Amino acid sequence: MLRFASQRLLGMALTLWLVSIVAFAVIQAPPGDYAEAYLTEKQQSGAVLTQEELTQMRQFLGIDRPWYVQYATWFSRIVLNGDFGHSFEWKRPVADVIGERLPFTLALAFTTLLFMYAVALPIGIYSAVRQYSVADHTFSLIGYIGLATPNFLLALVLMFLGQQWFGQSMGGLFSPEYQEVPWSWNKLLDFLQHLWIPVIVLGTAGTAFLVRSMRALVLDELGKMYVVAARASGLSPLRLLLKYPVRMALNPIVATLGWRLTFVISGAPIVGVVMSLPDTGPLFLHSLLNQDMPLAGAMVFIYCALTIIGTFVSDLLLVMLDPRIKMS
Amino acid sequence: MSSVTPALPRTSGTFLRPDSATQWQLMWRRFRRHHMAMLGLSILGLLMVIAIFAEIIAPYQPSQRSIRYLAGEPTGVHFFDSDGTFHARPFVYARIIKRDPVTLRAVPTVDQQTRWPIRFFVHGEPYRLWGLIPTDLHLFGVESGFIHLFGTDSLGRDQFSRTMYATRVSMSIGVIGVAVSFVLGTIIGGIAGYLGGMADLLIMRVIEFIRSIPTLPLWLALSAALPRDWSSLQVYVAITILLALIGWTHLARTVRSKLLALREEEFVVAARLAGCSDARLIWRHLLPSFMSFLIVDLTIAFPEVLLAETSLSFLGLGLREPAESWGVLLYAAQNVRSIAHLPWLLIPGLFVIAAALAFNFIGDGMRDAADPYAK
């Protein structure tokens, strides 16, 4: 187990390092550098900058050095001090700006994962056992539509309906009166009351996908001899179902936990933007639209890191659940 | 192509001689039994017709403004007038401008006394079909007044016409994106599966890496990095290529695993012994035998590309006006306030859902049909 974990840990570190290169490439991708952007900004307000000042500025920011030196400085600062650089837009350290909002993204992602599994597994099992029943057809119809609807459209429609029926804004994560006050029991309740809409929006497509795979997996197992044998030996139907086919079917479902997490993290920014959540989504989009690349690159790195760590955890979970899986 | 696996069809009941149906015919038979897949195919057909003949179907040019009908609701199509009389020729009610007595704003109001009959194949705004043939023929239109089936936006542009043009752009991005993914996936997966060894190991690691990172944030970041002064054609090409990079990993995996499995098959060994070159072996013998599985993967990749494009454009990071795509149109419906005023701006969203649904259905049907010999 320890050897398996350390091997995986090594793999994770390697992937994180690769991701950091991608994130750095994102930072470097737009044409021109910060000094040029600064120059245009100053020129618009009428100030004059000499070529010398620009060179000085480049030297000061370190952007006159070759890219690999810049990358090394950038990456070592992250690893050693957790320092992601300075945001142009916010005039503050990137780590602080993200740190304020990241907990909301995490809360949203994990609640969504929980929601997906809690809803999808029972429905998937039920649909398999009652194959071709009215409920099965209904669930698959909803599932198809859920898979085909872009997250943002679902968010817009839900918010629109909420406005029409309840006359209140469904966006955000807090009611106005709790916006600025410190955390309390009531604020937590208020938060949970707001959280479920983005969770549904973010989780629908993944839930639909999970229902389909769970249904197919259980259906595969149901016809097998060991199930017939267990049934013949007189086990009660529910006990039989949960003890044998469902247990077998759970394996591939747990194995893909990492992918599901990737899926959720991938969708989170858009939902955050559309529903104006106080999480990292709007921050990320804003930084992209304004080409605030240090912030954007850091966000790409963090989104990737989240999924990589999640995959690592799900690998460990799987080995713990099923010792038969080779630890290689 | 058809004689790759000349196994006897194991369908019980009817006896089929091995040469009486090709593999593709068998697949088609199986596919036709899948009702949802057939429904998907007809939706897709309709969308393709719209994409090809967008200029003819649209009664107006996408940038044309109906100044007397800003932010107007869909006009609707009627067969019965307010007295209940039936008219064989469908019509829309006339709109007259009234001033709001308080705000003095011009408000278009339905005038049930006047009918604007809809005529088919009318001459209207001149345009060039596919940018080549000059004509002014439109599928339908009204002679006096105006017709806006999906309403107009706040600038008075006809949403129906814009949606038709957007269908062309969105579908073409999907088709081109999937085609590029196909080429990438086959070549890269082919190298991995055919060469094996180090190349295989390396490629599989790269694919695992790509699949382990959340793609959408990365694509957002990359498209944000595109220069702002690019023309909409350049942006279109760049976005299409970016999106094509989504779909290929899945495809490469399929190609690789099928190649590995087939490499040891007798017909491959036979072909090799007969002196086939590698290229001929791949193109004539290996590829046809798993083509159907590739098509399944392509149908699954299509909605991914489509939804990604829509999301990018919706956020203002993909295509931008004056280009029209479903995502660009939905960009106008970004917040609840604008939807509450102009709910018809969400109609292009229905097209997105319909297209994605159609491909999901077709994909399901194809998966069943891909192996017509399975029970």
Q: Report the CATH number at residue A211.
A: 1.10.3720.10
Residues A128 and A249 in one domain: yes
pTM: 0.79
What pLDDT, on a 0 to 100 scale, did the predictor assign at position B16?
Answer: 54
B175-195 per-position pLDDT tens digit:
888 888 888 888 888 888 877
In a domain, B294, yes or no: yes
Residues A106 and A211 in one domain: yes
- Res A326 pLDDT > 60: no
CB contact under 8 A, A156 and B339: yes
DSSP state, B264? T
Q: Quick count: other Cβ atoms within 10 Å of Cβ B61?
A: 17
CB contact under 8 A, B340 and A164: yes
Lowest mean pLDDT across A191-205, B128-142, B147-161: B128-142
**Helices (H), ranges, A169-289:** 185-222, 225-232, 237-243, 245-255, 257-274, 280-289
User: Which residues does B contribute to its contact with A (CB < 8 Å)?
Assistant: 209, 211-218, 220-222, 224-225, 227, 303, 307, 310-311, 314-317, 330, 333-334, 336, 339-340, 343, 346, 349, 352-354, 356-357, 360-361
Q: How does residue A38 score in pLDDT terms, banded at 50, 70 and 90?
A: confident
Residues A37 and A143 in one domain: no
A201 touches chain B (CB under 8 A): no
d(CA B94, CA B111) in angstroms, rounded, equals 5
What pLDDT, on a 0 to 100 scale, did the predictor assign at position A205?
Answer: 87
CB contact under 8 A, B214 and A304: yes
Please say which residue of B140, B156, B172 terminates a domain. B156
Residues of A in Cβ contact (< 8 Å) with B212: 15, 258, 262, 307-308, 311
CA-derived radius of gyration, chain B: 26
Residues B122 and B202 in one domain: no
Average of per-residue pLDDT across B140-163: 81
User: What is the extent of the structural domain holding B188?
Assistant: 162-369
Lowest mean pLDDT across A34-38, A211-215, A291-295: A34-38
Task: List strand residue ranges (DSSP E) for B100-198, in order.
Answer: 106-129, 133-142
CA B14 to chain centre: 38
Strand partners, B97: B108
Residues A59 and A142 in one domain: no
What type of residue is B116? W
Residues B261 and B308 in one domain: yes
Residues of B in Cβ contact (< 8 Å) with A266: 214-217
Please give, rounded to a whole number of angstroms, the shortest distance from the CA of A48 to a CA of chain B: 24
Residues A202 and A54 in one domain: no
User: What is the extent of the structural domain holding A44?
Assistant: 30-99
What pLDDT, on a 0 to 100 scale, did the predictor assign at position B226?
Answer: 77
Sign of the CA dihedral B344, B348, B350, B353?
negative
Q: Could you tell me if the ipTM is greater than 0.85?
A: no
A302 touches chain B (CB under 8 A): no
Burial of A8 (0-12, 13-18, 19+ CB in 10 A): middle
Burial of A230 (0-12, 13-18, 19+ CB in 10 A): middle
Give the sheet arrangement for strand B78-80, strand by strand: B78-80, B86-99, B106-129, B133-142
**What is chain A's length?**
328
Please say which residue of B156, B182, B197 terminates a domain. B156
What pLDDT, on a 0 to 100 scale, did the predictor assign at position A115?
Answer: 93
d(CA B339, CA B1) in angstroms, rounded, equals 52
Please say which residue of B156, B180, B212 terminates a domain. B156
DSSP state, A86? B
Residues of B in Cβ contact (< 8 Å) with A269: 216-217, 220
Q: How does residue A119 score in pLDDT terms, banded at 50, 70 and 90?
A: very high
In a domain, B10, yes or no: no
What pLDDT, on a 0 to 100 scale, did the predictor assign at position A32?
Answer: 65
The answer for A133, left when phi > 0, alpha when psi is -120 to 50, beta otherwise, is beta
Q: How does residue A123 score in pLDDT terms, banded at 50, 70 and 90?
A: very high
d(CA B197, CA A154) in angstroms, rounded, equals 46
In a domain, B18, yes or no: no
* A 7-66: CB under 8 A from B: 15, 18-19, 22, 26, 29-31
Please give, rounded to a whole number of angstroms, the shortest distance from the CA of B223 to a CA of chain A: 9
